[in-house]
Structure 1
Amino acid sequence: MKKIGFLSFGHWSPSPQSGTRSAADALLQSIDLAVAAEELGADGAYFRVHHFARQLASPFPLLAAVGARTSKIEIGTGVIDMRYENPLYMAEDAGAADLIAGGRLQLGLSRGSPEQVIEGWRHFGYQPAEGESDADMARRHTEALLEVLKGKGFARPNPRPMFPNPPGLLRLEPHSEGLRERIWWGAGSNKTAQWAAKLGMNLQSSTLKDDETGEPFHVQQAKQIRAYREAWAEAGHTRTPRVSVSRSIFALVSDLDRMYFGAERGDRDQIGFIDETRSVFGRSYAAEPERLIEQLRQDEAIAEADTLLLTVPNQLGVEYNAHVIEAILKYVAPELGWR
């Protein structure tokens, strides 16, 4: 059994060919797709965060709105760039969104990827400390967030407050119990996956990672997941961690599917460079259901993960993206034992 959700980047473009022509379209359609996915029986609605781009950016208003419109589906991010975040303010936003959603928030964080502008986090008021890299800063912000999410008091109360205080040091409010265990780290290397395990975060492994061995992407990703679980066990955590992978998967069951994705050429890994590091990008899958099932059976990382996030082409509209999700749930998941 696997949890199956969708991951949307929330692209929008004023182009006449786009079904999502404005930021308002991207936000409102994201809410509608989450509602539709829940009705179809999907397990998760996840959203990517990119700054300075025509994509989803500020996640918490969207997460809270999705939480208010749904009742069962997990609501998450994949991922929030922690170079841009104030950990304490983020803890308040996350606590509020999680309470609105009834404890369904699954927050994916990361050190971020190359952005639209140079050192965009500086415009948000953040800069690495002396001797730190921007990745170090992201991890520092993350550790601060994890600490305050424990819900322990740390701030000395004013002796003459406007409102009465409970006894002792004060914590951030609103606090949502259990959210600390629903924080994920988007790891691009084995080392950062092991770091996440030691801190007790779940693992999100995306469609790219550092090319550490030259092996196929899904093999390297499966090894990353196993290294993460070994580090988790060594850290002595008592709960079972969760692991997700993201894939572009399209079951060709209609003429429209074949028109959009029938000539898909993402049938093999690609090599590129991210921050001057050689990276391997996972393939896309697009085929008739029987062929698609056979292809997916060979993906070692999907087999290792408990959660699969389907990246959706959100600019094709809510109705079509709901169809994409439904086709996987109906024609593919049962044959692979995921349902």
Structure 2
Amino acid sequence: MKKIGFLSFGHWTPSPQSQTRSAADVLLQSIDLAVEAERIGIDGAYFRVHHFARQLSSPFPLLAAIGARTRTIEIGAGVIDMRYENPHYMFEDAGSADLISGSRLQLGISRGSPEQVIDGWRSFGYQPKEGEDDAAMGRRHTEVFLQLLRGEGFARPNPRPMFPNPPGLLRLEPFSQTLHERIWWGAATNATAVWAAKLGMNLQSSTLKFDETGEPFHIQQAKQIRAYREAWKQAGHTRTPRVSVSRSIFALINDMDRAYFGHDSNSQDKIGFLDASTRAVFGRSYAAEPEKLVEQLRQDEAIAEADTLLLTVPNQLGVEYNVHVMESILTHVAPALGWR
């Protein structure tokens, strides 16, 4: 059995070819898509976070709204860039969204991805400490956030407060008792996957990874997952961690599917550079008739290793078509692979 969710980047553009022509369109359609995904049996609704872009950027109002409109589906981010976050304010936002949803929040966080602007986190008021780079700053913000999630008091109460205080040092509120078990780290390297395991975070591995061995993407990703699980075991955590991978997968059922995605039927991994020195491997897309798709996916080692699969969806094609995309996977692909 495998949990299957969707991952939306929340693109919008004023182009007449897009079903999401404004920020309002993409936000409202994201809520509708999560509702429909729950109805057809999808396990999770996840959303990417990008700043300074015509995409989803502020996750917690959206996640809270979805939590209020749904009952069973997991809701999450994949991922929130911690270089931009105040861990204390984020704690309050995340706790509120989790309580509204009935503890269904699966919060993916990370150091972030290549940006639309230069050092955008500086515009949000953050800068690395002496000796830090921006990635280290993001990890520092993460460690503060994880410490807050333990729920221990740390702030001295005012001796003459406006409202009565409980005894002792105060923690932030609202506090969600189990949210600390539902934090995921988006790792692009083996080393950060191991670091996440040591800190007790679940693992999100996307369709991009630093090219550390020159092997095919799915093999490198599978090795990353195994290294993460070994580090988790060595750290002595008592619960079983969760691991997700993201894939673009399209079952070609009708002429519209073939028109949109038939050109991806021979897709291969791609190599690119995130900056002048960072070589990355981008995983292939899968697009084929269901029987062929099943055979292709059986060869993907990382999907086999993961307990959760996130299907990247073309959100600009609208809610109805994206429901069709997901339902095609649930009906024609997942049972043959033992995912359902």
Name the structure 2 match of 1:126: 126
1:287-311 alpha-carbon deviations (Å, 9 max, x no partner): 0000000000000000000000000
What does residue range 22-37 of structure 1 map to in structure 2 within 5 Å?
22-37=22-37
Name the structure 1 match of 2:14: 14
Q: Residue 79 of structure 1 aligns to a residue in which SS?
A: strand
1:243 maps to a residue whose letter is: V
Matched-pair contact (CA < 8 Å) for 2:265–2:288: no
Name the structure 2 match of 1:174: 174
Name the structure 2 match of 1:306: 307
Q: Residue 145 of structure 1 aligns to a residue in which SS?
A: helix
Name the structure 1 match of 2:293: 292
Name the structure 2 match of 1:184: 184
Name the structure 2 match of 1:335: 336
1:1-24 alpha-carbon deviations (Å, 9 max, x no partner): 000000000000000100100000
Worse overlay, 77-86 or 274-283: 274-283
Shift of 1:265: 5.7
Q: Residue 42 of structure 1 aligns to a residue in which SS?
A: coil
Cα distance in structure 1, aligned partners of 2:286 and 2:100? 36
Q: Residue 55 of structure 1 aligns to a residue in which SS?
A: coil
Cα distance in structure 2, aligned partners of 1:47 and 1:75? 8
What does residue range 33-52 of structure 1 map to in structure 2 within 5 Å?
33-52=33-52
Name the structure 1 match of 2:158: 158
Q: Residue 36 of structure 1 aligns to a residue in which SS?
A: helix
Cα distance in structure 1, aligned partners of 2:149 and 2:273? 35
Q: Residue 160 of structure 2 aligns to a residue in which SS?
A: coil
Cα distance in structure 1, aligned partners of 2:17 and 2:264? 19
What does residue range 191-210 of structure 1 map to in structure 2 within 5 Å?
191-210=191-210
Q: Residue 78 of structure 1 aligns to a residue in which SS?
A: strand
1:237 maps to a residue whose letter is: H
Query: Normalization by structure 1: what TM-score?
Result: 0.99
Shift of 1:137: 0.3
1:326 maps to a residue whose letter is: E
Q: Residue 244 of structure 2 aligns to a residue in which SS?
A: strand
1:205-247 alpha-carbon deviations (Å, 9 max, x no partner): 0001011111000000000000000000000000000000000
Matched-pair contact (CA < 8 Å) for 2:14–2:22: yes
Instruction: Provide structure 1 residue ranges, at least 5 long, that are not aligned to the other structure.
Output: none
* Off by >4 Å, runs of 4+ in structure 1: none
Cα distance in structure 1, aligned partners of 2:259 and 2:288? 12
Matched-pair contact (CA < 8 Å) for 2:272–2:279: yes
Q: Residue 4 of structure 1 aligns to a residue in which SS?
A: strand
Name the structure 1 match of 2:324: 323
Cα distance in structure 1, aligned partners of 2:67 and 2:255? 34
Question: How many positions carry a matched residue from both structures?
Answer: 339
Cα distance in structure 1, aligned partners of 2:273 and 2:306? 26
Identity %: 81
Name the structure 2 match of 1:241: 241
Matched-pair contact (CA < 8 Å) for 2:265–2:286: no
Cα distance in structure 2, aligned partners of 1:266 and 1:50? 29
1:83-116 alpha-carbon deviations (Å, 9 max, x no partner): 0000000000000000000000000001011111
What does residue range 106-145 of structure 1 map to in structure 2 within 5 Å?
106-145=106-145
Q: Residue 19 of structure 1 aligns to a residue in which SS?
A: coil
Query: Normalization by structure 2: what TM-score?
Result: 0.99
1:146 maps to a residue whose letter is: L
- Does 2:241 correspond to 1:251? no
Cα distance in structure 2, aligned partners of 1:258 and 1:83? 40
Cα distance in structure 1, aligned partners of 2:68 and 2:297? 34
Q: Residue 272 of structure 1 aligns to a residue in which SS?
A: strand
Instruction: Provide structure 2 residue ranges, at least 5 long, that are not aligned to the other structure.
Output: none
